[in-house]
Amino acid sequence: MDDKNFKGHASLLIAYVIFGLNTPITKAILTHGETSAMALTFYRFAGAAALFWLASLFVKRERVGVRDIILLSIASLFAIVINQTSFIMGLSMTSPIDASVITTLVPIMTMIFAAFFLKEPITWKKVIGVLVGAFGALLLIFNGNIVSHNSASVEGNLLCMLSCLAFAIYLTAFKRLIVRYSAVTSMKWMFLSATVCSFPFCWSDISAINYGTIPADIYIRIIFVVLMATFVSYLLIPVGQKLLRPTIVSMYNYLQPLVSSFVAVLLGMDTFGWVKSIAAVLIFMGVYIVTQSKSRAQMEQEKIDKCKALILSDFTINSNKFS
C-alpha cells in the first residue's frame, strides 16, 4: 500500500470510528429529551461551519468560483442537510441497532451510483466484498444485546434509509468536485450552506429549549457530536474521498456497528465472543476484497497495455519476416 492509499484509509478509519461512537451518544442526547433532533442538527451545522471557517484562516487560501460555490451548496444538500437531518430524526424514532442495520446499504447504493455517475465497473470482487462486509455487519448487529428493538418505527427506518441514499449520491455524483479543493475549503462552504438552509426549519426548536435545565453531561455529548462527529469526521472523509474510490470509502460504514459493539464490551454491556470475532474478520475481509477490485482507470490501462503488446508482437513478427 503506497503512502496516498495509507493516508486515505487512515483518514476513513478514524472518521468512521468516531461515527460509530456518535450513534449511541446522539441517541442518549435525544432520549434525554432536552434537545430535539432538529435543534441538534442545527448545532452540528452551525458549529461545524464556524470551526471550518476558523480553520480556513490557518491554511492556504483557495479561490472558489461562483459556479463551484453553487455546486458545493447542492452537494451539501445531499452530504449534510438531507443526510444528517434525516439520520438524526430517524434515530430519534428508531433504535440504534435498526439504524446500524440500514447503514449497511450505503456500500451497495454507492456501488450502483458509482457505475451510473463515474462509469466504475461493477466487478465480482466488488460484489463479493460488499456482501461479505454486509454479512459481517449484520451478524454483529443481530447478535448484539446493546438495546432493544422496542423503539423502532417504520418512519424512523425510512428516514435512516433516506440518509444513506443521500450520502451514497454525494460520494459518487460530487467526487470530481470535491477533489478540486482541500477538505477545509469544500467543507466551510458546504456547512455554511447547510446552516443557512436549515435555519428557518430549526429556529422554533432552538428557541423553545430551556438551556439552563440541560445537564452538564448532555452539553459534553453535544460538544462531542459537533467537534468530533461533525468537524473532525467531515474534515477526514474528503481526504479519503480524494485518494480512494467511492465504493471503498462507503465500505467503512461497516465499522460503525463494530465500534458500537466494542464500546458496549468496554462498558460491560456486552461480551466479545466468537460471533463478534467472526463478524469483525468478515467486515475487514470485505473491505480488503473491495480494495483489490479494479477501477475503471485500471481496466482501461490494461486494455491499452494489451493493445500495445499486440502491436509490438505484430511488429516483431513482421520484422522477422523481412529480416
* Residue 13: predicted pLDDT: 92
Is residue 256 scored above 70 in pLDDT?
Answer: yes
| Domain identity same for 173 and 321 | no
pLDDT tens digit sequence for 20-76: 888 778 888 888 888 888 999 999 999 999 999 999 999 999 999 999 999 999 999
Burial class of residue 29, CB neighbours in 10 A (0-12, 13-18, 19+): buried
Under a CB-based contact definition with an 8 Å cutoff, are residues 59 and 184 in contact? yes
| pLDDT average, residue stretch 144-151 | 46
Residues 131 and 44 in one domain: yes
Number of CB atoms found within 10 A of residue 46's CB:
20
- The verdict on 306 and 276 lying in the same domain is no
More reliable by pLDDT, 161 or 53: 53
Do 178 and 250 fall within a single domain? yes
Same domain, 234 and 318: no
Same domain, 247 and 123: yes
33/26 Cα distance (integer angstroms): 11
Q: Which three cell numbers stand for residue 52?
A: 471550518
- 148 and 266 share one domain: yes
What tens digit of pLDDT does each residue of 94-134 get? 766 667 667 777 888 888 888 888 788 878 888 888 888 78
Q: Assess whether 244 and 313 both reside in one domain.
A: no
φ, ψ of residue 119 to 5 degrees: the values are 60, 30
Grid cell at residue 10: 487512515
Residue 255's Cα: distance from chain center in Å?
10
SS (H, E, C) 13-76: HHHHHHHHHHHHHHHHHHHHCCCCHHHHHHHHHHHHHHHHHHHHHHCCCCCCCHHHHHHHHHHH
For 180, other C-beta atoms within 10 Å of its C-beta total 15
Confidence band, pLDDT 50/70/90 cuts, at residue 158: confident
- Name which of 4-13, 65-74, 163-172, 308-317 the model is least confident about: 308-317
Return the higher-pLDDT residue of 120 and 192.
192
For residue 3, which phi and psi values (nearest 5 degrees)?
-60, -40
Can you give the residue range of the structural domain that contains 31? 3-292
222 in the same domain as 155: yes
- By the 8 A CB rule, do 238 and 81 touch? no
- The answer to whether residues 152 and 285 belong to one domain is yes
Q: In terms of domains, do 125 and 56 share one?
A: yes
Which residues fall within 8 angstroms of residue 179, CB to CB, at 6 or more apart? 241, 242
For residue 272, pLDDT over 80 is answered with no
154, pLDDT greater than 50: yes
d(CA 289, CA 277): 18
pLDDT score recorded for residue 181: 93
Q: Within 13 A of 289's CA, how many CA atoms are on the CB side?
A: 18
Of 14, 4, 83, 2, the closest CA to residue 236 belongs to 14
Q: What would the pLDDT profile of 282-303 be if each residue is shown by its tens digit?
A: 877 877 787 676 655 555 555 5
Identify the CA nearest to 94 among candidates 145, 157, 144, 20: 157
